[in-house]
Amino acid sequence: MAERNTIARPYANAAFAYARQEDNLSAWSAMLAIGAQVAKHELVKPLLGNPHVAPGTIASVVAEIASVDAQSMTNFLELLETEGRIGLLPEIAELYERLYQDAQNTIDVVIEAAQPMAEPQRELIQKSLARRLDRQVSVAVSIDETLLGGAVIRVGDQVIDGSVKGRLQQLAATLQQ
């Protein structure tokens, strides 16, 4: 995964720089997100890098599905396909999105909770993280009953594990030493 991100980073940076220059950040974000979904689709994966697929086919499909109306986006997709990098669209989209969020001073946070979270509790976590990170925070909550209790908070690359399952695993690891 790290290698794919390393290869994808220059493409994400270039796309972001161009989109910022053209003041078209959100359209590029949407196009890359759709492109990432297409590239991850089980029917498309076998076609990526397949020499029997005509050059430009995957780029055309992504452009059509994403309703691309800017030639620069189509050119970007065609470049990715020509360079054999169109399969990196998920990583490019993720890296682009981080740059986009940084530019907007926002960040997405995912909370995995053992049980449904009350709205005041979610808002408290959101406000605390916004103060701590000095950014606007968007929170998504998912339920993972295997956590037993507590929650795991994912902020970018950071993970704050306050789950009972995580604490039990830490205790087990400590006892085995």
Residue 19, domain CATH:
1.10.520.20
Q: What is the mean pLDDT, run by run of 10 residues, along the chain of 177 residues?
A: 88 96 93 92 85 86 85 92 92 94 90 91 91 90 89 86 86 85
Domain boundary residue among 85, 101, 117?
101
Same domain, 50 and 135: no
Q: At what angle do helices 71-82 and 25-40 cross, to 10 degrees?
A: 40
Please tell me the pTM assigned to this model.
Answer: 0.73
- The per-residue pLDDT for 91 is 96
Same domain, 59 and 118: no
Same domain, yes or no: 82 and 33: yes
Same-domain check for residues 78 and 159 = no
The residue out of 101, 130, 148 marking a domain boundary is 101
Residues 95 and 116 in one domain: no
**Token code pair at residue 131:** 């103060």
**Domain limit, last residue, from 101, 133, 153:** 101
Q: Which two tokens stand for residue 4?
A: 């794919």
Same domain, yes or no: 76 and 121: no
Domain range spanning residue 143?
106-176
- Determine the pLDDT at residue 1: 57
- Are residue 88 and residue 110 in the same domain, yes or no? no
pLDDT of residue 6: 94
68 shares a domain with 42: yes
